[in-house]
Structures are given as structure tokens and as C-alpha cells.
Amino acid sequence: MPNAIYRAFGINLDLALEAREIVRGETGREIPGVRVDQENYEHAQVTIVNIMEPSAEVIMGKPVGIYITIESPVIRENNPTAHQEISEILARQLTPFTSLPEYANILLVGLGNWRATPDALGPKVIELSLVTRHLFNYAPQALKRGMRSVSALAPGVLGITGIETAEIIKGVVERIRPELIVTIDSLAARSVTRIGTTIQIANTGIKPGSGIGNQRTGINQETMGVPVVAIGVPTVVHAAVIAQDTINRFLEQLNTDRDLHQSYGQLNPEFSHQVITEILEPFGGELTVTPKEIDTLINSTAKILASGLSLALHPDLTPEDYTFYLH
């Protein structure tokens, strides 16, 4: 039943943690070729899913690689102290991927559509990030020890530019030759509880828009020629998933009422899919849902990501230094 709804509506799972949960729910055991580790903090839980075998890649629907998920409901709260802790956790988890020479050249790419709030996380992070490549080129005397050359790009989306995002990034990469690309993007989740509370880091790159059915050219080491680390935060859930979860919860409740359970407890999954399809038909089956406070969530999450990135890429800088260079 769980996988059926995703196949029926062509929904991909952006979060490796959710893909693992779905598969484990069906098999009841750990996936061969997958190793999972966990770390616990005061305001967050970190789960590291390491897909090590091609066979596990097929089962999970995710490329071989490392997927780090930071889960923290406090991200939704107005709690600057906790948000700073999340930024520090993010920086700590990024460190193995950003262990580059001091003067390495890094390119940040904010994916998404700045005109659509749920998809504006990437461009917003770029707006708040500490970029330094121009200082290396034109004002080296303003640099402090431990700073790296960081440039940033928010290439927009195909519908605005008429150019594949990967083509834009590839052109910049060929010009500035970075040692690492870090992408930031909005993701789609299967659970509404993960909207604005979950951060995923992956060393496998990303396919922009894959979670909502838009198959764009991948941004990864194969297409770009350099390592790509992808950071994402869920901002939407497919309406079909919410509808199916509602039906499932309804059927679970029927177990407490014998008469109703006999009438509805054996509801055919194909029937529920048909009903959901009919409801979503005006939107071509492609309707996603986001909370009304998404503006606030995007702003607060962007600050956490930008701060964590700066801590990881410029580890010797103090918060005061960060503020000084940012402005």
C-alpha cells in the first residue's frame, strides 16, 4: 500500500530517510547494503544513511552515497539560541565534505524559483551567504586567515530563464573551476511533520524538481566534473500523499468499531487511488501543499543554512566576522 500511491502519481521521495522508512515498513528488516547511524543532540536528531551497494540503490531509489538528515522541530520556533545550535550541527556534518585546502574555490548554488515562496529557499540562502571570491581577486588585504574563496549563484528555473539550470551551472563551473559545488534546494516530503523541520545533506548531488515530478538534468559529479554536495529542506507535500494518509488513518480508526470495520475495513486500494485521482484531476494530479506560514519558515531556515555553511566553509571566522563581511 505505501509504495502504491507513489507509483500511481509518479511521486519521488527526496528524503533518503523516508525512502528507507517506506522500504523497511514493507519488509520489516534493514535493507541489505545500507548502514544507518544516529547522533542525538539537545534540539536535534541526526540520522546518517549510507547506501553502499548498487543493489541497495535500486531498492531505495537513491544513488550510492551518504545522506545525512537533521531532524529538529525547534526550527519552526522563534528560538535563536536553538537555531544557532542547528547551524553548528549542520556545519559539523558538512565538515567531512568541505575538508579542502585553505584557499580552495567553492561554488554555492541556490536552486529554485524566487517568485514562488515554497521554492525560494535556495535563492534566499544565497542572499544571506558569505561570498568572498571577489575579495580574493580584488581586495586580498581584507581577508582573514582560514577564509576560502566562495562564490554564489541563483540561476533561477527553466520557466523563467529558458535555460536548463544544469547548463547555467556548467558554464560557470567551466569558467571559475571550483573544487566543490554546494547546492541548496527546497524538497518535497511524504510527511507534513517534516516541512520546515528537516535538513538533508547528500554527497550525491541533486535532480532539481524531482520530488514534484519535474525531471531536470542532474547536478552531480558526473555532469559537473567536480564533487557536488546537496543541502535540502522539505517545504511541500504532495496532496495525494496527504489524501492517502487521511484514508489510512480513517481505516485504522475503523478497527475500533466492529460494524464499520466490516463495511469499510477492506477498502480496495485501487478505489482510493481512483477517488484521489478524480479530486486532483483539475490540477493534472500535480498538487502540492505548503503551510500558510511558509514565508516565516523559509526566512528562518535560510538563516540557519547560511550560518551553517559559513561556519563550515570559513571555520576560523567568528560570528562578528561573519556579520562584518556579510554587510
How is the chain split into domains, by residue range? Answer: 2-242+283-326
Burial class (CB in 10 A: 0-12, 13-18, 19+), 2: middle
Q: Hey, is 93 helix, strand or coil?
A: helix
Mean pLDDT lowest for which of 26-30, 44-48, 78-82, 110-114? 26-30
Secondary element (H or E) of residue 40: strand 34-40
Q: Which residue has the cell 536535534?
A: 44
Phi, psi of 166 (to 5 degrees): -60, -30
Q: Would you say residue 190 has pLDDT above 60?
A: yes
326 vs 79, more confident: 79
Among 7-11, 40-44, 118-122, 142-146, the range scoring the smallest mean pLDDT is 7-11
Taking the C-alpha atoms of residue 67 and residue 313, their distance in angstroms, rounded to an integer, is 19
Q: What is the mean pLDDT of the chain?
A: 86
- CATH number for the domain whose boundaries are 2-242+283-326: 3.40.50.1450
| pTM, two decimal places | 0.86
Query: For residues 189-211, b (16+ Cβ closer than 10 Å) or e, as one string?
Result: bbbbebbbbbbbbbbbbbbbbbb
Tell me which range, 131-140, 283-292, 318-327, is most confidently predicted by mean pLDDT.
Answer: 131-140
* Residue 205: closest CA among 181, 187, 229: 229
**Sign (positive or negative) of CA dihedral 268, 272, 278, 281:** negative
> Per the structure block, which three cell numbers stand in for 132?
568572498
User: Which positions ≥6 away from 128 have C-beta within 8 Å?
Assistant: 302, 303, 306, 326
